[in-house]
Amino acid sequence: MINFFEGDIYTALLFSQIIYWSGKSETEWWFKSYQDWQDEIGVNEYHVRKSIKKLEKLGFIETKIKKAHGNPTLHFRLETAIFSETFLQFLKKRNFKISRNETANFKETSNSKLHTEITTVNYNNKDNSSAENSSDFIDQIINIFSDLFYQSRGFEYVKSGKDRKAVGSLLKQYKAKNPNSNSEQTLKDFGTFFKQCLAIDDKWYSENMTLPIINSKINEIRVMLKRKSIKVQKESAEQQKLADALEWYKQINSRRNND
Domain limits, CATH 1.10.10.10, in the chain: 9-125
Q: How confident is the model at residue 122 (pLDDT cuts 50, 70, 90)?
A: very low
| Phi and psi torsions of 45, nearest 5° | -60, -40
Range from 11-15, 131-135, 179-183, 226-230 carrying the lowest mean pLDDT = 131-135
What is the residue-wise DSSP string for 189-213? HHHHHHHHHHT---HHHHHH--HHH
Q: Which of 206-216 are b and which e, b meaning 16 or more Cβ less than 10 Å from the residue's Cβ?
A: eeebbbbbbbe
Alpha-carbon distance 171 to 57, whole Å? 33
pTM of the complete model: 0.44
Predicted confidence (pLDDT) per residue in 42-75, tens digit: 889 999 999 999 999 999 999 999 888 888 889 9
Selected residue with higher pLDDT from 99 and 243: 243
Three-class SS of residue 230? helix
The CATH-assigned architecture of domain 9-125 is Orthogonal Bundle (1.10)
224, 227, 228, 231 alpha-carbon torsion, rounded to 10°? -160
Predicted confidence (pLDDT) per residue in 15-49, tens digit: 989 998 988 888 899 999 988 898 888 889 999 99
CA 133 from centroid of its chain's CA atoms = 20
Whether 5 and 118 have beta carbons less than 8 Å apart is answered as no
Q: How confident is the model at residue 119 (pLDDT cuts 50, 70, 90)?
A: very low
Q: Measured between alpha carbons, how far is residue 167 from residues 103, 122, 135, 183, 207 in Å? A: 37, 28, 10, 15, 20
What is the structure's pLDDT at 84?
86
Q: Give the number of other Cβ atoms within 10 Å of residue 222's Cβ.
A: 13
